[in-house]
Amino acid sequence: MAAAGLAGGAAAQDMGHQVSCGVASSYDLTVRPDALQFERPEVAPRSVRMHDGALTTDGRAVPLRPDEQDRVAVFERDVRTLVPKAKAIASDGVDIAARAVREEVARASPGSLSSGELDRVLASRVGDIKRRIASSQSTRDWQPDAMRAYAQEIVSDITPLLTQDVGGEAVQLAMNGDLEGAAALRDRVADVSTGGQARVLARLESALKPRVQALCPAVQQLIELQSGLRDASGQPLMVIERDG
């Protein structure tokens, strides 16, 4: 789902269906200094803009009563309040993912951590991703799909190093006559590549779930604020909606 992150709540909200505020959205949200900009590629309205009590859909201003202007203004304010909280969850999720990957390596091949190279690579990737999240104005960079992609980036970074380190270790075991040990080592490393991401995501879901659910009341309140608002064509506005 593209932007249940629009509430900020979604930054981590849907790492899996077990972690959900029960909302969904077909829009991506960009948090601009002057406005909230909701965009999607298909189905009108493709663009929704909110700023200081004003509402525009697909470039057309929506006439609003004073009470509706108030609700649009509160919606924008509440989203702006949620966004840094959601980004903090996403940023912490990157640290959790990195620790989970390191534990995967320690389980598969403890010797691969001895040189410090793997920790250097992990730190570099984590720093890059966290800077990306911190500077981003778009939910595309801290929604569930992005978190999955970040976990894959981390696993992909360490796989070549792990394979290289283990190759030499496995050869040494084989030369010493421990063919079974060499095969078991290779199997453990292969399991990091094939199953590691799923275990990392499960770890993320478990760790982030309480923090995500703490945002749910505020996310649900956005649906109430949106209720009754219409776009420029007179259709109900649904930048966020109940999921199912």
Over range 220-232, report the average pLDDT.
94
Q: How much is the pLDDT for 6?
A: 41
Over range 155-163, report the average pLDDT.
74
Q: How much is the pLDDT for 180?
A: 65
| Separation CA 23–CA 182 (nearest Å) | 49
- Listing DSSP states for 84-142 in one string gives HHHHHHHHHHHHHHHHHHHHHHHHH-GGGGTTSHHHHHHHHHHHHHHHHHHH--BGGGT
Q: How much is the pLDDT for 108?
A: 72
Confidence of residue 4 (pLDDT cuts 50, 70, 90): very low
Confidence of residue 126 (pLDDT cuts 50, 70, 90): very high
Q: How much is the pLDDT for 208?
A: 86
Phi-psi region of 56 (alpha: psi -120 to 50; beta: other; left: phi over 0): beta
pLDDT of 130 higher than 70: yes
Confidence of residue 18 (pLDDT cuts 50, 70, 90): very low
Tokens 């040990």 sit on residue: 181
Q: How much is the pLDDT for 197?
A: 72
Chain centroid to Cα 19, Å, comes to: 12
Q: Is the pTM of this model over 0.75?
A: yes
Over range 98-116, report the average pLDDT.
79
Nearest to 129 by CA among 152, 103, 106: 152
Nearest to 169 by CA among 155, 156, 154, 188: 188
186-214 pLDDT tens trace: 666 666 666 667 788 888 888 888 888 89
Share of the chain above pLDDT 90, in %: 36
- Which residues form the domain of 77? 4-242
| Separation CA 36–CA 57 (nearest Å) | 12
Over range 166-194, report the average pLDDT.
60
- Amino acid present at 50: M
Residue partners of 190: CB distance under 8 A and separation at least 6: none
pLDDT of 243 higher than 80: no
**Between residues 148 and 190, the one the model is more confident about:** 148
Helix/strand/coil for 33: coil
**Mean pLDDT of all residues belonging to the chain:** 80
Residues 141/135, Cβ–Cβ less than 8 Å = no
Number of domains in the chain: 1
Helix/strand/coil for 241: strand
Which range is least confidently modeled, 6-10, 21-25, 88-92, 223-227?
Answer: 6-10
pLDDT of 232 higher than 70: yes
Share of the chain above pLDDT 70, in %: 76
How many residues comprise the chain? 244
32-90 pLDDT tens trace: 999 999 999 989 999 999 999 999 999 999 999 999 999 999 999 999 999 999 889 88
